[in-house]
Structures are given as C-alpha cells and as structure tokens.
Amino acid sequence: MADRRRILAKAGAHWHRIPLRDEILDRAKRPFPVEPVRTLDAIHLASALVARSAVPDVALLTLDRRIREAGVGLGFEVVPSRAGT
C-alpha cells in the first residue's frame, strides 16, 4: 500500500487543477456518449474536455467503467488500458 501511495504522490505532483467555470458546468449539463453519467462524473468529464482544448493529448485516468466508456466515446485515451471494475 505504501508503494502505491508513493507512486500516486509522485504522479500527483504533475497534476493541475482546473477552476470550476461556467464553461465546465454548461458542458456537464449536456448529454454524454454513454449515459447515465453521475453529476460529479459529468463535471470531471467536462473538465477533461476543457483540459483537452489546452493539452490535446491529455488522457483520462480512471478505473470506473462508466467514466471509461464515456471517455472513450469522447475520444480520450483512457488509462490504465484495462479496468478491473
């Protein structure tokens, strides 16, 4: 467990936070390629879309099946390549 936390902390040092803006909230209210999408998941996906406009090769990191399916439907690379859930 300690190794996983260390890996996560190392990766997290390179993450950036995106402020919650009207652009994100407006996109989160619209349908996604795979439904249903939960509210917070919609905000995360909408944030990823905004991030992709600045960083075209941004990828989604998730183990959640619904987020993976919606992310693929939105054209994202989703990592890890296989989910256990």
Residue 61 lies in a domain: yes
How far is residue 54 from each of residues 35, 57, 66, 69, 84, measured CA to CA in Å? 26, 9, 24, 22, 30
Q: Which residue has the higher pLDDT, 8 or 20?
A: 20
Residue 51 lies in a domain: yes
8 pLDDT above the threshold of 90: no
Number of domains in the chain: 1
Residue 74 lies in a domain: yes
Give me the domain span that covers residue 29: 16-79
Confidence at residue 72, expressed as pLDDT on a 0 to 100 scale: 95
Q: Which helix (H) or strand (E) holds 66?
A: helix 65-73
Average pLDDT over residues 58-68: 91
Query: What are 13-59's pLDDT values in tens digits?
Result: 888 889 999 999 999 999 999 899 999 999 999 999 999 999 999 99
